[in-house]
Amino acid sequence: MDEDVAIIGAGQSVFARKCGVSVRELCFQAYKEAMEGLDITKDDIDASITCSAPEYDKQRTPSGLISEYLELTPKPAFYVESVCSSSSTGVRIAWSLIKSGLHKVIAVIGFQKMSELTSREAAERMGRGGDIIWESPFGVTMPAGYAMYTRAHMAKYGTTEEQLARVRVKNSSYGARNPKANYRKELSLDDVMNSNVITSPLKMFDCCANCDGSSTVIVARGDIAKRVSKTPIWIIGLGAATDTMTMSGRKSLTGLECSQEAGKQAYEMAGLKPEDIDVAEVHDCFTVSEILAYEDLGFAKPGEGPGLIDDKETYVDGRIPVNVDGGLLSKGHPIGATGGSQIRTIVRQLRGEATEAQVKGAEVGLVHNVGGVGQYGNVTILRR
């Protein structure tokens, strides 16, 4: 397996509405967890990739700053962005840099410190999330984009608001046990159903919250991985795809085509099928996003995603456990850190270390990380 590529360490900070530390200190929290227990030091890392959504950063070009703080200079450092999917894009690039022979061990560091912005500044950026000539002048928002997918799914398949709410109920039950989650309260179906409408039919508890957080994934060449890590987690499938930035450009409004395409690529590379996945992390920025992911990734047929949550098949002891760390809905969504946090959860599951909610005997896991309203899709398949 010398030519294969593995994850040898994964960590994340506590995700919180306000972290109270600087960006470099925030990143150190995740880096420390990822590096602890490995038989390597900072000197063995030969490149770093920093991942965030720059419109939320006060510091220009933060990769240089973080590289200095972790004493990774003079090793190359650069920045990768695909909004909410930035850090899984970082892992994809780390894989290819190692596979090419250019590097041996790479630190992929994702972060977002959203509390650095005032709520007014955040609302201004929210307004520029769509195509700024053709869609932002109408007041489109991220929740509105997903709400339009929700309405279309409801119209075609009869999906209900209660079914969406059940996703939040599940994820909140796991979020309550996750010490790194921002939102740790269990929510009932009534709590979710009675929350304020944000953009119909999505309500407050259908939505994840912005927050501060960091993640780190250490990626290494196979021979090194086997030497320095007790349980390397192998990257066996990678898929990445895009869809249009404009909502009017979308061919389908009942599923994310970027997820479907990225999933297809990842399954093909891994030589696996959806039924081979033991545990999955999907991008539940909204409750509906998790339902769409069930279908887009082949865990359910189109239109049958809601049935999976009705039947509790995505709980930890179900047929395909999904987001048993609380998901974005409970953990919070520090944009650039999210993909790395999802990968950390699957690494812990495959190592049998997820004591809060361990899927028994999990050997193959999937990470689905989406940027924008289905604009960028990454699917990563990992094996113990």
User: Using CB under 8 A as the criterion, which residues of the chain lie in contact with other proteins when the complex forms?
Assistant: 120, 123-124, 126-128, 131-141, 143-144, 147-152, 155, 196-202, 246-250, 253
Sole residue written with tokens 């361990």: 358
Q: What is the residue type of 58?
A: K
Active site residue 283: no
| Farthest CA pair distance, the chain | 57
Find the distance separating the first CA and the last CA of the chain, reported in whole Å: 13
In the complex with other proteins, which residue's Cβ is closer, 65 or 140? 140
In the complex with other proteins, which residue's Cβ is closer, 28 or 149? 149
Q: Do the beta carbons of residue 291 and residue 166 sit within 8 Å?
A: no
Rounded to whole angstroms, the Cα distance separating 62 from 68 reads: 10
In the complex with other proteins, which residue's Cβ is closer, 38 or 204? 204
Smallest distance, other proteins to C-beta of residue 338, A? 21
Smallest distance, other proteins to C-beta of residue 242, A? 14
Active site residue 84: yes
- Catalytic residue of the set 19, 84, 208, 211: 84
In the complex with other proteins, which residue's Cβ is closer, 120 or 273? 120
In the complex with other proteins, which residue's Cβ is closer, 100 or 248? 248
**Six token digits for residue 325:** 């760390």
Q: Do the beta carbons of residue 216 and residue 27 sit within 8 Å?
A: yes
**Six token digits for residue 326:** 């609380």
Smallest distance, other proteins to C-beta of residue 377, A? 20
Q: Classify residue 139 as left (phi > 0), alpha (psi -120 to 50) or beta.
A: left
Spell out the alpha helix ranges (H) of the chain.
23-35, 62-69, 86-99, 119-127, 142-157, 161-175, 189-193, 222-228, 257-270, 287-296, 305-310, 327-331, 338-350
Rounded to whole angstroms, the Cα distance separating 148 from 70 reads: 43
Smallest distance, other proteins to C-beta of residue 155, A? 4
Smallest distance, other proteins to C-beta of residue 360, A? 40
SS3 content of the chain, % helix, strand, coil (to 5): 40, 20, 40
Smallest distance, other proteins to C-beta of residue 198, A? 6
- Catalytic residue of the set 103, 153, 283, 333: 333
Sole residue written with tokens 């989406």: 370
- Cα distances from 34 to residues 27, 31, 224, 234, 345, in angstroms, run 11, 5, 16, 16, 12
Helix H or strand E segment including 280: strand 279-281
**What's the chain's Rg over C-alpha atoms?**
19
Residues marked as catalytic? 84, 333
